């Protein structure tokens, strides 16, 4: 019974990360085809009114210039995304593989509980922003992966704890579904020093009451309840390591 984990670990070490990601992405696309999942394209119609808008500051830090480049590219890819009624939206379907050949640069990211530099690093701020926007706009969350580590002190936060959504190309995606009988569009712009996301549509859409309530589990660990209209939607646990931000 102990052979499978050992074999899997050996296989993972033998196959380059890039190839594993390509295989994982291929499996995802195959599943989407088999399931008949519908993804929207770009919105090319007339201007729709903005129903929900959410912005965040992009704070300076290690590998900041690379993060800004990555956020600009990501925002351009997402801007104008269309989600038809009943259709889905995928972060990586819109942004694509964050490779150096496509202009992405090294930015800061959390990997295995450590802060490291990685091509495409910093895009998690963009995926977290869209996730929070989707909650406010009443979109269905099909797939979302929280960070396992919280690196911020309360006075340093640019977004509530619990509103994050980490993405790893090939493995972890942010996916949304449009539950409304009308199409919606996601707009996204990077205006130094802020990144702003908007939900636009012609139909009636009222922003929801979204809050995040934290409870300490033990020293250094916290549990966050995502509440919509006072009702629990999700619970996320974090290990708190603000010392990782020391540079």
pLDDT tens profile 168-187: 999 999 999 999 999 999 99
CB 131 within 8 A of CB 144: yes
State whether residue 19 is helix, strand or coil: helix
In a shared domain, residues 179 and 194: yes
The stretches of the chain forming alpha helices (DSSP H) are 3-14, 17-35, 64-78, 91-95, 123-137
The answer for 170, left when phi > 0, alpha when psi is -120 to 50, beta otherwise, is left
Q: How confident is the model at residue 5 (pLDDT cuts 50, 70, 90)?
A: low
With respect to residue 230, please indicate whether it lies within any of the assigned structural domains: no
In a shared domain, residues 5 and 90: no
User: What integer is the mean pLDDT of 68-74?
Assistant: 97
For residues 76 and 122, give the distance between their C-alpha atoms in angstroms, rounded to a whole number: 15
Side-chain half-sphere of 77: how many Cα atoms within 13 Å? 23
In a shared domain, residues 172 and 80: yes
With respect to residue 194, please indicate whether it lies within any of the assigned structural domains: yes
User: What integer is the mean pLDDT of 49-60?
Assistant: 95
In a shared domain, residues 44 and 83: yes
With respect to residue 56, please indicate whether it lies within any of the assigned structural domains: yes
| Residue-range definition of the domain harbouring residue 101 | 38-207
In a shared domain, residues 67 and 138: yes
Task: Please give the share of the chain, as a percent, with pLDDT higher than 90.
Answer: 77
Across the chain, mean pLDDT equals 91
In a shared domain, residues 97 and 132: yes
In a shared domain, residues 63 and 166: yes
Amino acid 41: pLDDT: 81
State whether residue 177 is helix, strand or coil: strand
Q: How confident is the model at residue 3 (pLDDT cuts 50, 70, 90)?
A: very low
In a shared domain, residues 65 and 161: yes
With respect to residue 6, please indicate whether it lies within any of the assigned structural domains: yes
For residues 221 and 164, give the distance between their C-alpha atoms in angstroms, rounded to a whole number: 16
pLDDT of 35 > 90? The answer is: yes
In a shared domain, residues 31 and 129: no
In a shared domain, residues 48 and 27: no
With respect to residue 231, please indicate whether it lies within any of the assigned structural domains: no
With respect to residue 117, please indicate whether it lies within any of the assigned structural domains: yes
pLDDT of 233 > 70? The answer is: yes
Amino acid 110: pLDDT: 82
With respect to residue 213, please indicate whether it lies within any of the assigned structural domains: no
Residue 51: name the closest of 203, 202, 200, 209 by CA.
200
In a shared domain, residues 7 and 55: no
pLDDT tens profile 108-160: 988 777 788 999 999 999 999 999 999 999 999 999 999 999 999 888 899 99
Window from 29-33, 154-158, 163-167 with minimum mean pLDDT: 154-158
Pairing between β-strand 149-150 and β-strand 231-240 as defined by DSSP bridges: parallel
Q: Structure tokens of 118?
A: 């990685």
Name the domain count of the chain.
2
With respect to residue 130, please indicate whether it lies within any of the assigned structural domains: yes
In a shared domain, residues 29 and 114: no
pLDDT of 71 > 70? The answer is: yes
Amino acid 10: pLDDT: 58
């Amino acid at each position: 019974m102990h052979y499978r984990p050992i074999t899997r670990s050996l296989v993972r070490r033998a196959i380059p990360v890039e190839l594993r990601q390509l295989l994982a992405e291929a499996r995802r696309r195959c599943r989407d085809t088999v399931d008949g999942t519908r993804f929207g394209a770009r919105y090319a119609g007339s201007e729709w009114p903005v129903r929900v808008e959410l912005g965040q500051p992009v704070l300076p830090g290690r590998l900041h210039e690379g993060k800004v480049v990555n956020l600009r590219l990501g925002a351009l890819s997402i801007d104008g995304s269309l989600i038809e009624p009943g259709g889905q939206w995928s972060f990586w379907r819109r942004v694509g593989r964050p490779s150096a050949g496509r202009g992405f640069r090294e930015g800061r990211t959390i990997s295995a509980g450590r802060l490291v530099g990685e091509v495409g690093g910093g895009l998690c701020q963009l995926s977290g922003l869209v996730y929070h926007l989707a909650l406010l706009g009443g979109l269905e969350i099909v797939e979302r992966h929280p960070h396992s580590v919280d690196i911020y002190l309360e006075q340093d936060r640019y977004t509530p704890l619990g509103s994050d959504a980490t993405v790893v190309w090939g493995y972890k995606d942010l996916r949304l579904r449009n539950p409304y009988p009308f199409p919606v569009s996601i707009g996204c712009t990077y205006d130094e020093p802020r990144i702003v996301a908007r939900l636009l549509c012609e139909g009636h859409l009222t922003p929801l009451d979204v809050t995040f309530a934290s409870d300490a589990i033990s020293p250094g660990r916290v549990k966050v309840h995502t509440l919509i209209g006072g009702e629990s939607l999700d619970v996320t646990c974090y290990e708190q390591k603000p010392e990782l931000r020391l540079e």
